[in-house]
């Protein structure tokens, strides 16, 4: 039997924070069905974000935190690393939040994603992790859009 994206996030070492957030926002059912691509931040990624934010993650409103989570999810598409767009000018992926993140590649091999709120490309630390309802790519930082209007 295969694991759903939720089960994968909650049974894989290094995704405890992601699992906790998915649970606290009651997203288990939502991401246990359908077809998804998830850029999954590791525990270390959330720790780095917590350290970087004035007041930490606790200072971020639930509404904004949900939008940030949605910025890591592509709905109705299962995009393995080979499917992520490398073509310059055509390398945007539209997320569940409605905002785009950009795929970065080297020699036509994707190595990371970047949101408009990230200073650096967020590198993949694991790709093509299979779930029965999609695929997960582990990322070393939390993907961010421009948070200024929300803070």
25 in a structural domain = yes
123 in a structural domain = yes
Q: Could you tell me the strand order of the sheet in which 92-94 lies?
A: 73-75, 36-41, 134-139, 122-131, 109-114, 100-106, 92-94
Give the SS3 label for residue 37. Answer: strand
Cα radius of gyration rounded to whole Å, the chain: 14
Q: For residue 15, give every residue at least 6 positions away whose Cβ sits within 8 Å of its Cβ, in sequence order, or none.
A: 8, 9, 40, 42, 43, 138
146 in a structural domain = no
> What's the CATH number where 25 sits?
2.30.180.10
**CA 120 from centre of chain:** 15
Tens digits of pLDDT across the chain (151 residues): 789 999 999 999 999 999 999 999 999 999 999 999 999 999 999 999 999 888 899 999 999 999 999 999 999 999 999 999 999 899 999 999 999 999 999 999 999 999 999 999 999 999 999 999 999 999 999 999 998 888 7
Cβ count within 10 A of residue 108: 8
148 in a structural domain = no
73 in a structural domain = yes
pTM exceeds cut of 0.75:
yes
151 in a structural domain = no
150 in a structural domain = no
77: containing domain: 5-139
Tally of domains in the chain: 1
96 in a structural domain = yes
- Report the C-alpha gap between 86 and 36 in whole angstroms: 20
């Amino acid at each position: 039997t295969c694991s759903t994206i939720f089960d994968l996030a909650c049974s894989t070492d290094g995704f405890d924070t992601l699992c906790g957030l998915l649970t606290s926002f009651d997203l288990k059912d939502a991401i246990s069905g359908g077809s998804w691509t998830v850029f999954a931040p590791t525990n270390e990624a959330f720790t780095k974000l917590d350290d970087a934010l004035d007041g930490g993650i606790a200072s971020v409103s639930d509404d904004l935190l949900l939008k940030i989570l949605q910025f890591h999810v592509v709905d109705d598409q299962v995009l393995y690393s080979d499917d992520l767009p490398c073509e310059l000018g055509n390398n945007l992926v539209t997320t569940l939040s409605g905002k785009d993140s950009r795929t970065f590649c080297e020699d036509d091999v994707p190595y990371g994603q970047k949101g408009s709120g990230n200073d650096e490309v967020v590198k993949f630390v694991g790709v093509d992790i299979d779930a029965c309802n999609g695929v997960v790519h582990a990322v070393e930082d939390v993907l961010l859009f421009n948070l200024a209007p929300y803070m």
